[in-house]
Amino acid sequence: MDKKMKIGFVGYIQPDQPDFWENAKILADVGYQGMEGAGRMLDDPDGLDKIKRLRDIGLEPLTVSTDIDYLTNNGIAGLPEKAAKLGVDNVSVYACSILNGHRGRDSHVTFDGFMKDVDVLAETSAALKKEGLTLRYHNHAPEFKQVFDGLPAFDILMRNTDDLQVLLDVAWVAYGGADPVRIIYEWGPRLHALHLKDFQYAPLRTAWNERYHSAFTSVGSGVVDIRGCMKAALEFGLTWGIMEQDAMNQLSPMDSLRASYYNVKEYGLAE
C-alpha cells in the first residue's frame, strides 16, 4: 500500500513542562508531524509565537479542544476565532454524558440525558459546518458497552447526527467489545482521524467509576489490531493517526512515543 498516515500525538508531554520544547524537537526528528492539545498555548500572552515555534519545529496543531458542557452552555461562541488563530479546520469534543458513569459523576446514564447531548452535538456540528469547521467526537468504551433498545450508544449517536465526524479511539472501541476495523469500514466516511492506542491482555478495571491504569501499552505492543485499523482508515482517505496512551506501562512517555512511532513505521503505514 502506497498510502501512509501522518502521525501525531496527544498527551505524553505538556507545554508547561520545562523540557517541552526540547522533547517536541526530538519527536519531530523521530517523524511526528502533529500535536493535539496545542490550543492551550493560546491561553498564554505569547501563544501565537508559541504556535509558530511549534510549526517551525515541524509539528502542526491539530484541533481546538472543547467539552460537552461548554457546547451546551455556549454553543460555538469563540470556537471559530480560536480555530482561526490555531490554523485548524476542526473542533474536538472528548466525551459526553455517556462517560459519566465511568468518571464517577453519575451512577446511571439515562437515554434522555444521552439524547440531550446528542442534540447538542448535532446542533453544534451543523453550526460549525456553516463556519467551514468540522466537529469531531472522541469515543470511549461506554459508547459501545451501553445499549439502549438494542442499539449501542455509538450507533444512536451516529444515526442522529449528520455533520458530526469521529475521532475514533481504536483501543476504547476494542475494550468496549466491538471490532475497531469493522467500525472503520462501517462508518469510514464519518471518520476524521484515528487515536492510535493499545492495551495488553491484563484487564483494565471493569467498574466504570474506578480509574483505569493497569494495561495501556505503547502502540503496536498490545492486542489491538493497529495495522488493520490503519490500513482500513487509509482506504477512506484518513490522513492522521494520533498516538495516545492514557497511562504509562514499562516505558517513559518519550520512549513510548518512540516505540509507538517505530512500530507503525515498520508496518509501512506511517510517513
Residues 21 and 46: their CA atoms lie apart, in Å, by 15
Any idea what DSSP says for residue 41?
G
Question: Would you state the pLDDT for residue 214?
Answer: 56
pTM of the shown model: 0.93
Q: What is the SS3 assignment for 261?
A: helix
CB 66 within 8 A of CB 92: yes
Any idea what DSSP says for residue 176?
T
Question: Would you state the pLDDT for residue 209?
Answer: 44
10-residue averages of pLDDT along the chain (271 residues): 91 94 98 96 95 98 96 97 97 89 60 95 98 97 92 97 98 92 98 96 54 76 96 98 94 98 98 96
Question: Would you state the pLDDT for residue 200?
Answer: 87
Which domains, ranges and CATH numbers included, belong to the chain? Answer: 6-266 (3.20.20.150)
Per DSSP bridges, beta strands 240-243 and 64-66 are unpaired
Helices (H), 131-219: 142-145, 153-159, 170-175, 180-187
- 22: burial class by Cβ within 10 Å (0-12, 13-18, 19+)? exposed
Task: Name residue 35's amino acid.
Answer: M
Residues 186 and 183: their CA atoms lie apart, in Å, by 5
Question: Would you state the pLDDT for residue 207?
Answer: 43
Question: Would you state the pLDDT for residue 7?
Answer: 98
The angle at the Cα of 99, spanning 96 to 100, to the nearest 5 degrees, equals: 95
